[in-house]
Chain A
Amino acid sequence: MGILVDHISKRFGDFVAVDDVGFTVEAGELVALLGPSGSGKSTILRIIAGLETPDRGEIFLTGRDVTSLSIQKRKVGFVFQHYALFKHMSVEKNIAFGLEIQKQNKDYVRDKVNELINLVKLKGYEKQYPDQLSGGQRQRVALARALATEPKVLLLDEPFGALDAKVRDNLAQWLREFHHKLNITSIFVTHDQNEAIEISDKIVVINRGRVEQFGDARSVYEHPDSKFVASFIGQVNVVDAVARDRELYIKDTAFRIENRTGEPLRDGDVVLLVRPEDVELTAESGKDAVPVEINRIHYRGSHYEIDCAVGGIELHVSENKNNFQRQQWRQHQRVFAGFKNYRVFEAEEGHHRIHEKLKELGYIE
């Protein structure tokens, strides 16, 4: 009973902004619409909200066909990239606006506003005006305002786009926890893959108005359906493993390597992260070397990208030109992969912790 986007298309003049897009959001899910600038993701969001009308297609919100319903009647909560706070109204008046439109009585409005102010941790700022607040505070007001009318659906358009990196991180985290608490069906638009992976349940990857891939963060990240997804999401090898004693058993295979990261681990499911350039291919077997088969070789000028596979796991290896020419790897060759430098995380930590660490390590921006 969440959101159904069904065969939506929209063009502006000659420009096709949205091309036959469809996906679902289950009730209570937080889904990211991820894509580069100009990919049409904001347009899709605005169509769901009713701020644009599609040329073709339908939108269903909580089971109702809202395609021909006006914006006012759709009862969605919308958070704009630049907040769109009412500059001439105080924080509490901003938040109260939707409730006043609904003609709620004064006490109800007052209580609801207080509840939301506390929820977004802006106690004490009720009477301030937008120009007196920081970017992060304004964003929280925008969120509170959107939630005041208890919409069934929450839409956020690049909510953190206008903020500093640090503030953005904190706010993204906070949004995730917030969403856990409220469990409101939500879609947010972003061009930042980290954000998407960090806080969403599922990701819809959009490029040039079309859906490139749709799935949970893990599958989008590890099993990109297309070159676009792969390159947009970034190159890190994510390897499932099981930790036992001091060894890591590569899942679905019989191979194991010694845990040399120096990080103590409990036995159980883990995730191993290794950069393409940190995978070393050798012709001979050695300690902690995993046998792999070379699937494809890509020439990249200064280096080669080698796609290998072991069991069901794909490994992307990056090898510099000189090395490669010395080794002369060939397609379908069976070689051995050693992980020179890698990090291991307990799988239970959850996606957002993984990617926090990834950022720290400089694996991804």
Chain B
Amino acid sequence: MVLRGLSFFYVGLLIILPILAISAEALKGGFPNLWTNITAPAALASLKLTFLTAFMMVILNVITGTATAWVLVRYEFPFKNLMNALIDLPFAIPTVVTGIMLVALYGPNSPVGGFMEKKGIDIIFARPGIIMALLYVSFPFVVRAVQPVLQEMDKDMEEAAKTLGARPFTIFRRIVLPTLLPAVLTGAALSFSRAIGEFGSIAIVSGNIPFKTQVASVYVYGELESYNPQGALGLSVVLLLCSLLILIFLNRLQVWSRKHAAA
């Protein structure tokens, strides 16, 4: 079958082979070596920073993304369509441009950044900047995951809750949120996955200070630039494993939510 052959060839060459190659390379040196790589102080610090900032960003994104989806679906206001279209902007803008924009706006030379610097708060070349960059590039994920579910949602259940005496906030907490949960989790997982791997915007915005503002992806880049691919392998493998886990999680989530979709 020609079609099947071509498909296998393409996916094999571009996806399967590279994964196998890096896995083999990692295993070649043996486990102890890999472990040393991963637990090198700078590497470990970058991993911690990566997960910490990703986690904080996801929390923020879930809240703001859900609120944004809610407002877009349930309320009317001027320029709503325009705003809805612009939600996808982070998907269309190159990550380096995002980094540049944030530096322009919040860097030490900008009005906002300079002001904050005097107060002792650094945005660019510090953690807040990283979280902002991650938030920018992942913003659409939660919104776009939640929007269709909110749109399709039967208002019936909310009305029923009202007749049973529930106030708006209770309805949101006990009826709406549980229904939205799978979509929110999907958006959160996608954001998290994006965040741990994000490079372009962080490279510009973070200043790459080891132990302070260096994330895992930047660490890997650093090792490669220093012609130390061995050093890069450890974290690469960790990141890849995380990616795989998240993919599996997302897949399970989809299956689970489809099962409960009836009624």
Contact = CB atoms under 8 A, between A and B. Distances in A.
Q: A and B: partners?
A: yes
Interface of A: 49-51, 71-78, 80, 82-88, 97-98, 101-102, 129-131, 133, 138, 142, 145-146, 149
Interface residues of B, number: 20
B263 A149 contact: no
Interface stretch (B64-72, B152-160, B185-193): B152-160
B109 interface: no
Given A84-B156, A87-B157, A88-B178, A51 B162 contact: yes
Interface string B130-173: 00000000000000000000000010110111111111001000
Nearest to A88: B178
Contacts of B263: 85, 87, 129-131, 133, 138
Contacts, number: 73
26 contacts: A50-B162, A50-B163, A51-B159, A51-B163, A71-B163, A72-B165, A74-B163, A80-B156, A80-B159, A80-B160, A84-B154, A86-B157, A86-B160, A86-B174, A87-B179, A87-B260, A87-B263, A88-B178, A97-B161, A129-B263, A131-B263, A133-B263, A142-B160, A146-B163, A149-B164, A149-B165
Given A85-B157, A131-B260, A149-B164, 20 more contacts: A50-B162, A50-B163, A51-B162, A73-B165, A75-B165, A80-B160, A82-B154, A84-B154, A86-B161, A86-B174, A87-B157, A87-B263, A88-B178, A88-B179, A97-B166, A101-B170, A130-B263, A138-B263, A142-B160, A146-B163
A254 to B, nearest CB: 56
> Dominant SS at the B interface?
helix
Nearest to B175: A86
A98 B164 contact: yes
A71 B165 CA distance: 7
Given A72-B167, A101-B165, A84 B178 contact: no
B262 interface: yes
A101 B260 contact: no
